[in-house]
Amino acid sequence: MIRAVVTDDERTSAELLVSLLEATGKIEVVGVAHDGAECLQVVKQAKPDVLFLDIRMPGMSGIEVAETLVHSGFVPLIVFVTDHDEYAVKAFELAAVDYIVKALDLDTFEERIEEAVDRAEAALRVEPPALASLQKSLTELVQHQQLAVSRRLPVKDYEEGTVRLIEPSIITYVEREGAHVVVHTAEESFRTYHTIDRLEERLKSAGFFRANRAAIINVNYVQHLIPNGDGTYDAMLDAQGAQVISVSRSRAKALLEALGV
């Protein structure tokens, strides 16, 4: 029996999908969520084989949920669910990720669910989807679908038990701290699922710079560069000196050039 989680912000749609999935006799629905943050919690707890994921949800889209799962280290097989959007459907096909259209025709919808379940069953029989393969599919999906996917960064808020979407413009620096990579703003800090290399690639177009092996700084917040006499610098990111990041000798020249010094 395939273990599945269903995520749809419309409760009636979620209930229908659960009913039709279980009617195939191949699916055991082990969790239901109605938004992106709840989905991440349910997936973490239930560890499903397959996630049936709505693409259009308020707050955190299905694409952003999938991206967050990729960085979390646990990724079930993902079947996207979408509305009547011919362009989006074509994008899903290009990305080689299965999809279900929320058709008005119940018989057609049911047939499509059965096909998706069969594909999931076949995929899981071989081996679970690899992280690299899913990441490639998600990248292609974002490139082809042109759905104006938010560039906000998903980070986990452990105090609130939610996933926050952070605008890159308010991030002052990112630093690897032990086993985690932590995103810092002027007011708060958040542990993330992302690697430091992944965040460097994602944030470099927004004015971020790799200061050393363990830290990325937002050059828009650099208040002072303090030379240490050995070719390294301390980058002060706030007027009070509470956020200071060391810039390695190998990166100092490139930072000075980037700042026009």
Average the pLDDT over 86-95 and give the result: 48
- Give the pLDDT of residue 32: 97
Residue 97's pLDDT is what? 57
Across 75-84, 107-116, 149-158, least confident range: 149-158
Residue 69 has a CB neighbour count (10 Å cut-off) of 24
Average pLDDT, the chain: 81
Asked whether the whole model's pTM tops 0.95, one would answer no
123/128: higher pLDDT: 123
pLDDT at 161: 65
Query: What pLDDT score does 143 carry?
Result: 52
123-149: average pLDDT: 55
**Span 17-22, mean pLDDT?**
94
Give the pLDDT mean for 109-122: 86
Residue 180 bridge partners (DSSP) = 177
Residue 96's pLDDT band, with cuts at 50, 70 and 90, is: very low
Round to whole Å and give the CA distance between 175 and 245.
9
Q: What is the pLDDT of residue 159?
A: 64
Q: What pLDDT is attached to residue 141?
A: 57
Which residues, including other chains, have CB under 8 Å from residue 165's CB and lie 6 or more apart? 59, 60, 64, 150, 152, 153, 154, 155
Residue 93 pLDDT > 60, yes or no?
Answer: no
Tell me the pairing of strands 27-33 and 233-236.
unpaired
Q: Which of the residue ranges 14-23, 81-90, 206-215 would you say has the lowest mean pLDDT?
A: 81-90
3-state secondary structure 7-47: ECCCHHHHHHHHHHHHHCCCEEEEEEECCHHHHHHHHHHHC
First-to-last alpha carbon distance for the chain, in angstroms, is 63
The domains of the chain, with CATH numbers, are: 2-145 (3.40.50.2300), 170-258 (2.40.50.1020)
Burial of 54 (0-12, 13-18, 19+ CB in 10 A): buried
Residue 157, exposed/middle/buried by CB under 10 A (0-12, 13-18, 19+)? middle
Q: List, for residues 159-217, the tens digit of each pLDDT value.
A: 666 677 788 889 999 999 887 899 999 888 888 877 888 888 888 878 899 999 999 99
Residue 63 clears pLDDT 50, i.e. is over it = yes
The mean per-residue pLDDT over the stretch 156-161 comes to 65
Percent of the chain scoring above 70 in pLDDT: 81
Give yes or no for residue 90 having a pLDDT over 50.
no
pLDDT in tens, 20-29: 999 999 999 9
